[in-house]
Structure 1
């Protein structure tokens, strides 16, 4: 009985991995459920965007910039962040849309362990043709 189940499971996996990609590969009309083609989704993932941010709350003296730099690098983002004289942290990030959105969520809800985020404000997102920065850095 167990051997039958394993055989069925392996057969299903082989069909899913081997046959379905071949079936859909030659169909130019292959679209995702949202109506976009696979090529359109792949192109959108490679588009670059830029967005400014400012975070309010207890974000100075709590290693907020260091954690922001680390998180941005983990997401593959480029840009900068810095303390302001008003007690906030400002910055700019560049990268793929989904990674910028993940970083926005992090800036709004997580921050450094000892920080307190009251609010995060973001500029309008702009599409950019190429990166402006080589990495994500802390400005002093």
Structure 2
């Protein structure tokens, strides 16, 4: 059983915001995420930012008031898939990931964010 609420097969099932012919030529995607478990107090946001920047993703991450990690990421579909796997299974040292929920999938013409930041 996977730690992700929504499983990604081939191809990713993102909501289509434009006609499907254009979608097939566009590999830039956006997704919101929320990670549950023991994910605060273990530098999860720091490691998340480092991994996302290494993958060339744009977006942000932050600690929520309810003890989860919230974020948004944008980038090449394959890189977003890699990041989803990291968020769902690996995370920072010392964390215990229960699950990673994914929402608001969409294809984009281009990334809105330059770089990946930690929000407070």
Gaps of 5+ in 1: 1-42
Task: Specify the alignment match of 1:79 in structure 2.
Answer: 59
State the 1:131 CA deviation. 1.3
Gaps of 5+ in 2: 1-22
Residue 39 (structure 2) pairs with residue 59 (structure 1): yes
Question: C-alpha offsets along residues 72-105 of structure 1, whole Å, 9 cap, x if unaligned?
Answer: 0111111000000000000000000000001000
Comparing both structures, which one devotes a greater share of its residues to strand? 2
Asked which structure has the greater RCO (Cα within 8 Å, sep 6+), the reply is 2
State the 1:129 CA deviation. 1.2
Check the 8 A contact 2:57/2:73 in 1, yes or no. yes
SS of the equivalent of 2:111 reads coil
Check the 8 A contact 2:26/2:107 in 1, yes or no. no
- Bigger radius of gyration, 1 or 2? 1
State the 1:47 CA deviation. 2.4
TM-score using structure 1 length: 0.66
Q: How many residues align structurally?
A: 98
1:70 is matched with which residue: 17, 34, 50? 50
SS of the equivalent of 2:110 reads coil
Mean CA deviation greater in 91-100 or 126-135: 126-135
1:104 is matched with which residue: 62, 74, 84? 84
Task: Specify the alignment match of 1:13 in structure 2.
Answer: none
Superposition misfits of 4+ residues, deviation over 3 angstroms: 43-46
Backbone CA RMSD of aligned residues: 1.6
SS of the equivalent of 1:123 reads strand
